[in-house]
Structure 1
């Protein structure tokens, strides 16, 4: 027996329903501070320096994710072949 429930709600409504805190003010404050530092020309606040950690780990993370998916697909193929 299968049940399917479709609930239509906004991300804000889902956040409130799950009881998660509203951090939009904190997020905006942090973005404003980073923007001020970038406009002031503070060292380490140029776009390349800010994005560098995400670019380096992003490639490794994508490779890890691909390996995970490949492993899952390989195992699925083995399980289906063994069942036949």
Structure 2
């Protein structure tokens, strides 16, 4: 035997029928607090200050870049040789 039951109701009506709590006021309060915090911290995480802090580690002109690569290669070649006697 096969029985099919179709019930048309809104999610709110289903929650009430099942005895589940209504969490919409709490969800709205949490979302409002999250929005307030995100907007307050938005300037700190804007792309320009992040890139500026990241790019401070990269040499700014060609002479600094050449020096950085030279130092990198010198360290790799001199550090990789093993001394054998």
TM-score (norm 2): 0.48
TM-score (norm 1): 0.48
Structure having the higher Rg: 2
| Greater helix proportion | 1
